[in-house]
A and B are shown apart, each in its own frame.
Chain A
Amino acid sequence: MSVNKILIVDDEEIIVKVLSMSLRTDGYETIAAHSGEQGLEVFKSESPDIVVTDIKMPGMDGLELLKKIKEIDPEKEVIIVTGHGDIDSTITALQYGASDFINKPVRDEALAIALDRAKTKIDIRAKLKEYTENLEFKVAEATEEIRRKSNFQRLLIRSSNDAIVAFNHDWKVVVYNPEAATMFGEAAKDVRSKMTIDDLYTPQIAQIFKNQAKEEKQQNTLPWRENIIKTKDGRQIPVRYTSNVLYEKGEFVGTVNFFHNLTEIKRLEKELVQSERLAAVGQTVSGLAHYVKNILIGLQGGSYVVDVGIAKNNTEKFKTGWKTIKRNIKRVGDLTQDLLTYSKQREPEFEVCLPNDIVEDVIELVTDVAGSNDVLISKEYDNSIGEVMADSQTIHRSLLNLINNAIDACIEDEDISKNHKIKVKTYVGKDNYFCFEVKDNGCGMDKDIQKQLFDPMFSSKGGKGTGLGLLVTSKLIEEHNGVIETKTSPGEGSTFTIKLPYEKVN
């Protein structure tokens, strides 16, 4: 800003003239006034940059003028012309905000210096004003940018579907979004900057994050893990969570935790399991219907043959038909027993028994069937097993099922060049189990069959099996705290192993 308009106020016309001339030659524009009142008028209408005024004037004096000018515009430079030694007026002028003083008589050099100083002040003030205005603008701009950014981040955190909780270096909560409030059941106003990690979390969860902060010496993200969060109001929420320890210039500044609520996912999973179970029930019923239909076919056929026998008085026919009927009655009995065993919870009845003897009994039962189908049964007993505490019925039924299956696997085998055989073995296994192994070299099973092996009503025997045999077997073994294992290869045969807890009787 250039200074070029100067107001000169003095009641002595000659002084005004001389000063004006002198200033004009220096390139200033000058305006003159001859009294305080006139000076004020001119000041208002012309708005000069600098005012030079005599202090002693009739009417409104210089001090009064100074005061009025400063009231109108405190930034105007007013130079006071004083008489020599007028200390009191000078002090008053200073108090009113005069910029400078020149002694009378006014010398050009003194005026030039005072004007220069006033000009410099004006310049500085102008620059300062510019800087200030600029700075305000810059600050406003930056503030707005920060506000927008922080607002965006706040919205981001607020709207997150994950619960986000952050702690500062003192483990005080600093971030706690609405999802976190939903999850932990505490209102944000009661938590943010009020609670610590120990107030918000259960000790177990709090410890995980504290340990992480202790162990990680640099910024590091915990891999996603699953856990159940217990809230203070007693809810249990399954979550996936992760956490990040925050560092600023190597200093620990806090931790931020993210929790993903798995309740809905778990519910859907449960529903899926439930619907699979329902589908299994459907399969069970249709499998059962199929099996019952087969029994019915047998009974109808048998009764027809019996009818013919009666009509023709043919004892042979009568016997054949009756055999069919009896065989199918037995199938109904087996099915009923299997169904009951499967559906009822049964506690094993432990008693002293000799596993090897039970195997011997079972083999005796099946030898005829095996023999008539050209299947050879061999056995290998571990006599060190001795007497054990076990449920002999469980062992008996399970083995009978497995050996019958093995015989079927040999009969079903399409490779008739094989010498079909079944080996039944007993031994003491690892981890304190005594074991039964039934190994055949029959048809074996492919992956699909193997997968469905323990499904209810699944049968690979084309309506000739109840589809409950292995299911019942595995249930009996489980109730006995045992394990059943399968090894099989299509075309080469299968091995089933039953392992039961070994409790030897001395």
Chain B
Amino acid sequence: MSKKVLVVDDDPDVRSFVVTVLEENQYIPLIAQDGIEGFEMIEKEKPDLVILDVLMPRGSGIRLYRKLKTDESFNQIPIIMFTGIALRSFLKSQKALDEFKGGEVPEPDIYLEKPVKPEELVAAIKKKLD
């Protein structure tokens, strides 16, 4: 059975690109435009993998990432961060949030900095799902 992959990104260009890549590789694409919609989709559709942008309106990727990693019902879902933000900046903000909120959230499984070639994206998905 084909696996479900959720793309959470506010940029329609990125969404159509990732959706096309997923379709071409026989995954079932799901889409959400922001963090809040993303979480609703995860609760409803239980995707096998989440591809997550960092900077988005309405509940950023940073917030959704922490929410998923600290919730036992979701923390097994692999997440690919897919963003224009440098990993260093992302980790710095995570560390700041760790200190602020207490506890420690694990680093993302895979962190892809845009631009990403279709093959690279596919390789990253395969690594997590196959």
Interface residues of A (CB under 8 A from B): 290, 293-294, 296-298, 300-302, 304-305, 308, 317, 320-321, 323-324, 327-328, 411-414, 416, 462-464
Which 4 A-B residue pairings sit nearest by Cβ, starting from the closest?
Answer: A301-B17, A462-B55, A324-B13, A297-B115
CB of B118 within 8 Å of the partner chain = yes
CA distance A290 to B58 in the complex (A): 23
> Which of A297, A308, A412 is B20 in contact with, Cβ under 8 Å?
A308
Which of chain B's residues have a CB closer than 8 A to the CB of A462?
55, 84-85
Which of chain A's residues have a CB closer than 8 A to the CB of B17?
301-302, 304-305, 324
Q: Is the CB of B36 within 8 A of A301?
A: no
Interface residues on B, range: 20 to 34
How far does the Cβ of B15 sit from chain A's closest Cβ, in whole Å?
A: 9
Which of chain B's residues have a CB closer than 8 A to the CB of A324?
12-13, 16-17
Task: Given A327-B13, A462-B84, decide whether A300 and B20 contact each other with a Cβ distance below 8 A.
Answer: no
Interface residues of B (CB under 8 A from A): 11-14, 16-17, 20-21, 24, 36, 55, 57-59, 84-85, 114-115, 117-118
Q: Is the CB of B115 within 8 A of A304?
A: no
Which of chain A's residues have a CB closer than 8 A to the CB of B58?
411, 413-414, 416
Could you list some 20 contacts between A and B, CB below 8 A? A290-B84, A294-B114, A297-B13, A297-B115, A298-B11, A298-B13, A300-B117, A301-B16, A301-B17, A304-B21, A308-B20, A320-B16, A323-B16, A324-B12, A413-B57, A414-B57, A416-B36, A462-B55, A462-B84, A462-B85
How far does the Cβ of A445 sit from chain B's closest Cβ, in whole Å?
A: 15
Which of chain A's residues have a CB closer than 8 A to the CB of B114?
293-294, 297
Q: Is the interface of A mostly helix, strand, loop or mixed?
A: helix
Interface contacts beyond A300-B115, A302-B16: sample of 8 additional A-B pairs, CB < 8 Å, sorted by A: A293-B115, A294-B84, A304-B20, A320-B16, A321-B16, A416-B58, A462-B84, A463-B55
Q: Is the CB of A296 within 8 A of B115?
A: yes
Query: A312: nearest residue on chain B (CB-CB)?
Result: B24
CA distance A308 to B20 in the complex (A): 8
Q: Is the CB of B24 within 8 A of A412?
A: no
> Which of B12, B24, B36, B84 is A297 in contact with, Cβ under 8 Å?
B84
Residue among B13, B59, B84 with max Cβ neighbours from chain A (10 Å): B13
How far does the Cβ of A375 sit from chain B's closest Cβ, in whole Å?
A: 12
Q: Is the CB of A411 within 8 A of B57?
A: yes
Query: B56: nearest residue on chain A (CB-CB)?
Result: A462
> Which of B11, B13, B14, B84 is A293 in contact with, Cβ under 8 Å?
B84
